[in-house]
Amino acid sequence: MQNSNFNATLSGMIGKAPEFLLFSMVLSFVLMFSVQLFYYATIFDELVPNMAFSYALGCGIGLMYQLARLSFGLAGAYEFGKGKAWTGIIGLMFSFGLTLFEAFEVQEMALFWSENNESIYQSIMIGLQAVIWLGLALEIRLALSIKQDKPKPKTTPQTPHTHPNGSPNGSPRNGVNNVIPT
């Protein structure tokens, strides 16, 4: 009995896989947004004396990147689901470009925060690179997991043909005779 309960639970979880993929993808973007916010706020704090402005810039930069990644991920899933593979692939290419940029950006962050400590540098690099590339992998997997909508067969509306007596099949209606002699 427990085996059937486990199988039912597992089947239910498997059915929810796209939701888990989406949640994990969004979580990776939120994590990177937080890191970018902190990094850029720190960088601009050294350049701009107003701390609120520094944090606003950090927030804006991080939000822009991560909303773009989220948009590309959701649009890719939508387009693949609608059978528009080429536009989905183009969107994933843009997302790959942003991911590649973030991978280089993380190197700069790690250099900045590690202060030439190799073990801290490596820890930051491994952790943040994993978050970045996992986000892309989740984005691709989400796009592939969405079922394609089946195209609906095109039907042309048919106008009903009526006979001179007004009935659709030519038989008299309620005792009404054909007005045109046959």
Quick one: pLDDT at residue 146?
A: 79
- The Cα 82–Cα 62 span in angstroms is 30
Q: Kindly indicate the confidence band of residue 27, based on its pLDDT and cuts at 50, 70 and 90.
A: very high
Three-state secondary-structure class, residue 48 = coil
More confident residue, 174 or 12: 12
User: DSSP labels for 72-91?
Assistant: HHHHHHHHHHTT-HHHHHHH
Please give the pLDDT value at position 29: 95
pLDDT value at residue 128: 96
- CB burial of 1-40 (b: ≥16 within 10 Å; e: otherwise) equals eeeeeeeeeeeeeeeeeeeebbebbbebbebbbebbbebb
* Helix-then-strand count for the chain, H and E: 5, 0
Which of 12-26, 100-114, 165-179 ranks highest by mean pLDDT? 100-114
Cα(124)–Cα(117) distance, rounded to whole angstroms? 11
- The answer to whether 139 and 95 have CB atoms below 8 angstroms apart is yes
Share of the chain above pLDDT 70, in %: 80
Judged against a pLDDT cut of 70, whether residue 169 lies above it is answered with no
Residue with the bigger pLDDT between 81 and 173: it is 81
